[in-house]
Structure 1
Amino acid sequence: MAQVIDLSRGGIGVFAGPGRARNILALLGLLLLTACSSKPYEPAPVDEIRPGILRGYLSVADLPDSLGLLPAPPALGSAAEAQDIWLSGIALTLQGSPRWALATQDAVYTFPEVAGTFSCAINAPINEIDTPHTYRVLRRSLVDAGYSTAVAKNHYKRPRPFMVNSQPTCTPDSELALRDNGSYPSGHTAFGWAWGLILSELVPERTNQIIKRGRAYGVSRMVCNVHWNSDVESGRTMAAATVARLHADPVFQLDMAAAKQELAELISRGLPPSRDCAVEAAALDFTPVL
């Protein structure tokens, strides 16, 4: 079972705010990257904030404010809470199904395992060897998007579905840690949706497949019985805000340009995806109205 790393605890570190000179240099570097492809782009090393977790692109101060952007989670007895409970009941019917198996796989967010999540969606492998720049973008944006949910999580401390309905989760070894980590908004959904938005920019011809997979990644949290529907929806909001903010970061811009170039070259080589796409497609088609 994958190690649970609570992104809502502790700092993720602070980058110095980019000044005007830094912005100019970054833009010049971006132009050189696209114009002089003969000289490979070599990003500066990035330290890990925890074992296996790279520092994000954004400082804590630059992250979107989840407490200010999101409404409070559904109140007890409200129509919105009733909808959450109804949809959770539908998700519970998928336990033991192919969709449950995919949700269990989606619960793992450590690298290198999680790197292949969108492999079928882009119809190519994603890994540290074949796509090092894309791999780096995914690793760093995971922290930015995941941590963007932390303030609201810690403020509301919403109980997760399995704490309310006493039904199994797809990650029983993680339940103790999850009990102490607020349900609203969903951090998994935030970085999964952020990856979908980012990859759809990098491989625009596969936008439909990528966005479908990104949406399913959030639904997997409902199938796993660890998040409510409103948690998932709010996670997508934080993902969109985070990706928008990332586009103002010069280092992110450089990494994206390098990732786009390497993915185009990789796809032209026709390498197959790293996962069984027929099995994944069948699992996704198994999902009901979620």
Structure 2
Amino acid sequence: MSMTGNAVRAAHISLLALLALCGQALAQAGETQSKVTDPHFKIAPGYLKRSELPDSLVLLGPPPEKGSAALARDEEARQATLPLRNTERWKLAYTDADLAFPQAADNFSCAMGVRIDSKQTPRLHAMMLKTLSDFGLSTYGVKNRYNRVRPFVVHNEATCRADQEVILRSDGSYPSGHTAAGWGWALVFAQINPERADALLKRGIEFGQSRVICDAHWQSDVDAGRIMGAATVARLQTDATFLADLKAAKAEVKAAKAKPVSSTPECAAEAAALSAR
């Protein structure tokens, strides 16, 4: 059966309209993936291309819905942290919120048992910078799709970091990019220094919980951030450049651990803060 000229033209127009809609949808999807609000995740290029990162849109579901048991859990977790405001644990949440260097490296130096810096452990220090981008960027598919409102905005209260609140108001809460970075770092550090694995993983867990204590994230944001951090670490295990840096970082830490180091007041204060409940 043959088509008339008018029918052919109509079909052609319909096809063009469909292609235009598909192109618009793809552009919107690309924008969802590419928009990055938090400047911490653009400090240095990562190991992975954006197309190589784990896809949060595949790995995570949507954030808890209004009236759900999951949201009730988020509210309960938030309420449990309110007594920690203005305590030493609150102050630790303040420093954990700083992903700029050298503070980001200092946050994990006590757990590592070695000071992480550009002089003593330059390869490890550079790894932290590069992986920060990978961990943080892995969260932005879902973060931009749902643009979840943060708890301090919902409850009209302050966070532990007034200086960051302008950015936080426009950056989706779910999942937590800070948590993805902290948990991802902890997993990598445990590979580098397995003798300190428990301390490093504990620090990584508390790094994420600092986001709830700070009132910057809901508990479900933190839980989802850990998933993306772990997924990114799994992907990094197949990257040759990362693996070469991992080997070099192990040698740096081994050499640093061979030097006598005395306990510092900062590490004692951190341990005391982390013991607060």
Question: Which band: TM-score by shorter chain?
Answer: 0.7 to 0.9
TM-score (norm 1): 0.81
Alignment match, 1:22: none
- SS of the equivalent of 2:258 reads helix
Alignment match, 1:74: 64
Alignment match, 1:164: 154
- SS of the equivalent of 1:104 reads helix
Q: State how 1:250-265 maps to structure 2 within 5 Å.
A: 250-265=240-255
Alignment match, 1:267: 257
Alignment match, 2:225: 235
Q: Aligned partners of 1:120, 1:174: CA distance in 2, in Å?
A: 25
Q: Aligned partners of 1:273, 1:125: CA distance in 2, in Å?
A: 11
Alignment match, 2:266: 276
Alignment match, 1:120: 110
Q: Which runs of 4+ in 1 moved over 4 A?
A: 272-275
Alignment match, 1:197: 187
Residues 120 and 275, structure 1, Cα contact 8 Å, conserved in 2: no
CA drift of 1:72 comes to 0.9
Q: Which sits farther off after the overlay, 247-256 or 272-281?
A: 272-281
Alignment match, 2:27: none
Of 184, 196, 199, 1:209 maps to 199
Of 80, 83, 89, 1:90 maps to 80
CA drift of 1:227 comes to 0.2
TM-score (norm 2): 0.84
Residues 95 and 103, structure 2, Cα contact 8 Å, conserved in 1: no
Structure 2 segments unaligned to the other structure (5+ residues): 1-33
Q: Aligned partners of 2:238, 2:262: CA distance in 1, in Å?
A: 33
Q: Report which of the two structures shows the higher radius of gyration computed on alpha carbons.
A: 2
Q: Aligned partners of 1:266, 1:103: CA distance in 2, in Å?
A: 28
Residues 41 and 132, structure 2, Cα contact 8 Å, conserved in 1: no
Aligned letter for 2:67? G
Q: Aligned partners of 1:73, 1:139: CA distance in 2, in Å?
A: 28
Aligned letter for 1:237? I
Alignment match, 1:40: none
Q: Aligned partners of 1:91, 1:222: CA distance in 2, in Å?
A: 7
CA drift of 1:152 comes to 0.6
- SS of the equivalent of 2:145 reads helix
Of 214, 221, 228, 1:224 maps to 214
- SS of the equivalent of 2:61 reads coil
Pair 1:9 & 2:9 matched: no
Deviations 1:175-204 (A, max 9, x none): 111111000000000000000000000000
Deviations 1:61-97 (A, max 9, x none): 0000001100111110000000000111111221101
Aligned letter for 1:135? H
Deviations 1:149-168 (A, max 9, x none): 01110001000000111121
Aligned letter for 2:138? S
CA drift of 1:271 comes to 3.3
Q: Aligned partners of 2:46, 2:246: CA distance in 1, in Å?
A: 14
Q: Aligned partners of 1:94, 1:200: CA distance in 2, in Å?
A: 28
Q: Aligned partners of 1:49, 1:147: CA distance in 2, in Å?
A: 7
- SS of the equivalent of 1:270 reads coil
Alignment match, 2:137: 147
Cα gap change, 1:98 to 1:203, in 2 (>3 Å):
same
Residues 8 and 153, structure 1, Cα contact 8 Å, conserved in 2: no
Q: How many residues align?
A: 244
Structure 1 segments unaligned to the other structure (5+ residues): 1-6, 13-47
